[in-house]
Structure 1
Amino acid sequence: MNAGGHPLAPERRDELVRRLRRIEGQVRGIQRMVEEGRDCRDIVHQIAAIRQALASANSVVLECYAQNCLSDSERCRAETINELIELFKDVC
């Protein structure tokens, strides 16, 4: 954990770990599909599902980060908003 950072709340952390484990299983499934010579269309569909799952996991983290930043009374509000905007630009 970095100094001055905003860690996830324990319940959100547990939720995120579950999501990431599910994604890990999906990736392993795609590896098996490739090894077994499965149809490319099936693989593409599974990759799309993983991308959506990652986007969903990322939303959880961004939401927590935004809530933590906006509730930090010691930070300048304009600075916080600019930081959040830049972060959202980077991930979108």
Structure 2
Amino acid sequence: MSPTPTGASASMHPEAAKAVIARLKRARGQLDGVIAMIEADRDCSDIVTQLSAASKAVDRAAFSVVACGLEMCLEAESKGETPALDRARLEKLFLSLA
């Protein structure tokens, strides 16, 4: 997948790509915060709470990407086109997030 001039992936709707990018940037900020917390010798429970939040943000971004792929497959089928992802590949994507 090559990026479009806006930076969004050509296989994702631009608004969906923007939302995923925002989530990932938020997660990156949370991870930077976790690193700072560890360097500052903060309490383990605070660190785990922030790690959990970052993990959830990444998981939600991944589910959004998979949902976008599913949506594109459904759109292709409704137009009588061959979907870019077949059932086996979509299933593998879902299972990779489980």
After TM superposition, the score normalised by the length of structure 1 is 0.82
Larger mean CA deviation between 42-51 and 81-90 belongs to 81-90
* CA shift for structure 1 position 56: 0.9
Would you say 1:84 and 2:90 are equivalent positions?
A: yes
Q: 1:1-92 residue pairs with structure 2 within 5 A?
A: 1=1, 7-72=11-76, 73-75=80-82, 80-92=86-98
- Give the gaps of 5 or more residues in structure 2: 3-8
Matched residues in 1 for 2:69 and 2:25: separation?
21
Aligned-residue CA RMSD (Å): 2.0
Q: SS at 1:71's partner residue? A: helix
User: Larger relative contact order (C-alpha < 8 A, sep ≥ 6)?
Assistant: 1
Give the C-alpha shift of residue 58 in structure 1: 1.0
Letter in 2 for 1:30: V
User: Could you list the per-position Cα deviations for residues 33-76 of structure 1 after superposition, in whole angstroms to 9, with x for gaps in the alignment?
Assistant: 00100011110111111111111111111110111123223327
SS where residue 41 of structure 2 aligns?
A: coil
The CA deviation at 1:18 is 1.1
| 1:6 CA displacement | 6.2
Identical-pair percentage:
33
Deviation at 1:82, TM superposition (A): 2.4
Q: Which runs of 5+ in 1 are unaligned?
A: none
Structure number with the higher helix fraction is 1
Q: How far has the Cα of 1:30 moved from its partner?
A: 0.5
Distance 1:28 1:83 in 2: 33
